[in-house]
Structure 1
């Protein structure tokens, strides 16, 4: 804290004007653009300085001699050099040292507030975060809707009925129980929060019955969420990423359709995502050779003693939600599990098809109302049903607080500008064969420090894509598009690794929360196999680079 206060008082932030090529076929970009001669930021773009003429972003039109024009966005971003990572480093370090995420994340938030002169932490940081769409969304979705559904399932016995059905019909032991989790992770390929929550809450009752440790289950859930979304890109990821990969002069990226096609053709180069999904499959069959001591101990403990968490662990899910307690005379039905689950999947996929992105809040909200109504219709008293609902809310309070704090520290880390600083420092003259691995390492570090892959995409891709394309053209590569695809794959896969392994990532917290695992136990047992997959992927991209020559 003292160091953060000292740095904030003694070091002034530097400004970096980020330049991004925009699609000139987009009418909105053209209408907002001003001539380069009228721009206040044009002369400052591409280099760090102590001041900028304006802190507002600009859209700039640059006319060419041949009568064509280019459109760029110029966005001033500030950073404190390598000190920008101080809040994230403090939060992550405290997570590993204390194994208590609330105090660790709070410490990182306070460090960031002191660094950026936000001394009224409640007024300048916490309350504005709660007032944002993402902050309110966490409270509504994960505290009310998710907690409510899990409480209803615990009270009416639906989760236990589902576990007994799966055990009776499909599951024959730990291997098949883990395969169910893996298969659902692949099936729910929308990625991110939807996948982790659905797979975790669906499989946990079955996995608990088969003595699958929560460390194992959370690793399978987390490692088949975002990685599978890269490999099966028929989701919101493709539409988000295509807006970040426009490169001036690259005709094959001219339209939205072209950029989505480029994303899809780059899928075979997503080596980390492939290995991450493969490693979880090998774990299902007990064939993963490099589990790490923590995971091996978790497997031994759960199989021999039935303890799903290590002694002294702090699971993200209250113990009450891991058991079933139907009132006397109430007969549980497996349909009370299937109907709400089907509504979640159906509404999410339906809204994704019709509107371009899944409406997760509506999906869970409708499912909760139906689950509550069906339980009442089948004869449970209103008092018992509400009791289950409130127990569910209480059961996820701890996880929701951790998730909210993780989102706040991630926002602070992004505002501190560490990602911009790294890309500014390292995006210079380097051997062409080093660029993919450099981009991978940088995005791994940025995503791990900020807890977000989407935020890392937004920082890295507008800088990486033009640099990679210019490098390919300057060297006269025979296959420049292949080289660009390799660099693109390194960025998105590196970002996914950092997000997946970070203790301040929302998907990491949700994977722990949905499976009832201790957050830091999940992080420590997952990071080993994930890092081996990342190293092998880096070797693969380095070798593939020479095919582009």
Structure 2
């Protein structure tokens, strides 16, 4: 069976590669006008400026929209790449300013790299091979045949990629290695088991509660919760599929409900629509974000779903999670027989030197310092400084080990074992980011949004936006990247429909559409095997990546379906 699957996956990849070459040489890209709305204003010396990512920039060379070569009527007759790819224009007055961009897509073929990566993941259960295959397909479609210099180096050589490598390879790996070397994780698990955790259910409830406490969301939440509860849950006999599901499905969903984090500040920049009073200023848009939280039905149901599973109520959990629970009960095996966890087993085994006595405070104090630095830096700087937090925790862990008499050579050995344990997961993470960039460059999200029209019945729009963002986020592995695509296109469309179809409560309709984009993106990100949070949830809990994907997608889909019903009902009866 394995050899047959291997042969089928190879044939599938070869056919996809041939298709990619055909697209590159024979399919002309479709150029599309994109408009990005920013809050513009005059600064103290009278210059027209805009603010993005906290930085104020001057707008120069402003031209009328009717004279721009990037308007759609001109792009439709464009035979080659435009001479410029973005330009500031004004429409009716100089106060109605937008950034005009020329994007392109290859139609439905733009989704091919992500499709190949996901399909190969499912067929081979080898995420490294699958992601590399998707990267090759995307690179060929874009004509970047020197993949090393034209794809990997530009993407891996960025500050964001370096940041990820430092955080997840050096800091997280080093911290996990130190906890294994000192026996701190086991000591903490033993203490929790003696006093608080009495079995699988209480271990999962603790995991769920910590998911709510670490409401910063995304990678930070999955890493913090996963590394904290792993030793407790293993000792209590919680399957890795259950643990990774609870960790992942209380990360981004809770961050969109308890939104005292970086999400509102990031997302509000994409919400400006000229002439819409309740989205006029940054404060208005942030207030709109918080007012829309009660309509985040998917996030609410996702968090409730993890609570139900934690209480061993499996009505909506799906057969993969039920089978995992049954396996642990009958055999005690935390992983499926054919599982291949993407973090090394050495990180989850004690490596304590002879004569060294482990203590739970060696786990608790670095973890507390991590939380204090992360949360404190958020209130001071407006964004949680995750690198500071993990650096502080790692150095405190090393200092405590040295102070208790552990030799420097043994400390370095523990640190090195930690790095070795997360090398594969870090490479997978880098590949996932690379294929996400390629998918965005190929215009998959632009194509999906362009397929919509303004004549959609208003009650259909929320579910269409939900499905669209689910596909984009699943294909690219990022919710925040999906927001940058979907909000500037989806919300103006929603406002146009609300006005043209005479809705009595357009603001409520906009809130529902906002929530569908927000939540649909979270669903796609959660369920995608090429998402950083999916990979990190698997890595920190010791779960096989595809086992996590297949077990999580069932309850997540139940939550998405129920949310879709409520969104449609809300706009039908109240908009």
Give the TM-score, by structure 1 length: 0.97
2:378 counterpart SS class: helix
Query: Does 2:446 match 1:430?
Result: no
Aligned partners of 1:219 and 1:278: how far apart in 2? 12
The answer to which of 18-27 and 147-156 deviates more is: 18-27
The C-alpha deviation readout for 1:239-267, integer Å capped at 9, x for no partner, is 00111111110111111111000000000
Distance (Å, rounded) in 2 between the aligned partners of 1:37 and 1:530 = 43
Stretches of 4+ aligned residues off by more than 6 angstroms: none
Q: Which residue of 1 is the match for residue 84 of structure 2?
A: 55
Deviates more, 1:464-473 or 1:274-283: 464-473
Cα distance between partner residues in 1 of 2:136 and 2:259? 38
Question: Is structure 2 residue 193 aligned with structure 1 residue 164?
Answer: no
Give the Å deviation of 1:161: 0.9
Gap runs ≥5 in structure 2: 1-16, 44-48, 51-56
The CA distance in 2 between the partners of 1:444 and 1:467, in whole Å, is 18
Residues 281-324 of structure 1: CA deviation (Å, up to 9, x unaligned): 00011113132222111111122222111112110111111111
CA contact (8 A) 2:455 2:497 kept: no
- CA distance in 1 between partners of 2:63 and 2:147 (Å): 41
- Assess, with a 3 A threshold, how the Cα gap between structure 1 residues 239 and 41 changes in structure 2: closer, same or farther: farther
How far the C-alpha of 1:21 sits from its partner, in A, is 2.5
1: CA distance, partners of 2:175 / 2:40: 46
- Listed as ranges, the matches of 1:138-537 within 5 Å are 138-537=164-563
Between the aligned partners of 1:303 and 1:207, the Cα distance in structure 2 is 14
- 2:7 is aligned to none
How many residues are treated as equivalent by the alignment?
Answer: 546
Deviates more, 1:196-205 or 1:468-477: 468-477
Q: Note if contact 1:439-1:487 (Cα within 8 Å) is conserved in structure 2.
A: yes
The 1-side partners of 2:235 and 2:133 are apart by 37
How far has the Cα of 1:20 moved from its partner?
Answer: 2.4
CA–CA distance in 2 between the matches of 1:390 and 1:126?
25
In 1: Cα distance, 2:66 partner to 2:413 partner: 64
Cα separation, 2, equivalents of 1:26 and 1:489: 32
Alpha-carbon distance in structure 2 between the residues aligned to 1:3 and 1:362: 46
Contact 1:16–1:46 (Cα < 8 Å) also in 2: no
Distance 1:344 1:54 in 2: 49
In structure 1, what is the Cα distance between the partners aligned to 2:42 and 2:138? 37
The answer on whether the counterparts of 2:343 and 2:540 sit within 8 Å (CA) in structure 1 is yes
1:8 to 9, 24, 47: 24
Structure 2 CA distance for partners of 1:45 and 1:213, relative to 1, 3 Å: farther
Q: Is the 8 A contact 1:143 1:396 kept in 2?
A: yes
- The CA deviation at 1:345 is 1.1
Return the alpha-carbon distance in structure 2 between the equivalents of residues 400 and 277 of structure 1. 27
TM-score by length of structure 2 reads 0.92
What's the C-alpha RMSD, in Å, of the aligned pairs?
1.6
**In structure 2, what is the Cα distance between the partners aligned to 1:367 and 1:41?**
53
